[in-house]
Structure 1
Amino acid sequence: MLSADETQASLTGAWRLMLGKADGLRLLDLSADGFWNSFFAIVVAAPALIVGWVGIANELGDPDAFAGRFSML
């Protein structure tokens, strides 16, 4: 499990990379341990994912919403 400092550095690095700043790469742990620790991100993202899935599941009963979502593909 990652410490709070490692989590903060990883999130900051990822954010800087999303902004197009290459210096965000130096904040990421590029070792083999860093690779395996990166799977901990699902724990961090799980609350937001669950809220999104519940919102989509509630709309699936509405045929118009489903057809609209399907047409986006």
Structure 2
Amino acid sequence: MTAPILTLAQILNRLTLTARWTLRDHQPGSDGRCPICRVTDCAVATAARDLLTTLKQTRWTGGGGTPDPWQSR
């Protein structure tokens, strides 16, 4: 993309992907600790989970009859 302007859908998609990557990287190991932060209650993973929960609860629609991207089919 050459333009500096992103649509709302693109921003939401990038936020979702980033949160999923973060959760994958901060997945607790066998000892229950985050492999990056080395704590049992990783604040970064909690923030990523909260973001995904908020995005699902928002149920943003693209308008114009576009189906809800968060609804299971």
Instruction: State the TM-score, normalized to the length of structure 1.
Output: 0.38
TM-score normalised over the length of structure 2: 0.38
**In terms of Rg, which structure is larger?**
1
